[in-house]
Amino acid sequence: EPEVTQTPSHQVTQMGQEVILRCVPISNHLYFYWYRQILGQKVEFLVSFYNNEISEKSEIFDDQFSVERPDGSNFTLKIRSTKLEDSAMYFCASRTSSGSGNTQYFGPGTRLTVL
Partner 1 sequence: GEDVEQSLFLSVREGDSSVINCTYTDSSSTYLYWYKQEPGAGLQLLTYIFSNMDMKQDQRLTVLLNKKDKHLSLRIADTQTGDSAIYFCAEISTDSWGKLQFGAGTQVVVTP
Is residue 75 a contact point for partner 1 (CB under 8 A)? no
Is residue 25 a contact point for partner 1 (CB under 8 A)? no
Under 8 Å between Cβ of 32 and 92: yes
Which residues between 32 and 71 bind partner 1 (CB under 8 A)?
A: 33, 35, 41-45, 48, 50, 55-56, 58
Is residue 15 a contact point for partner 1 (CB under 8 A)? no
CB of 107 to partner 1, least distance (A): 6
Among 65, 76, 67, which Cα is nearest to 22's?
76
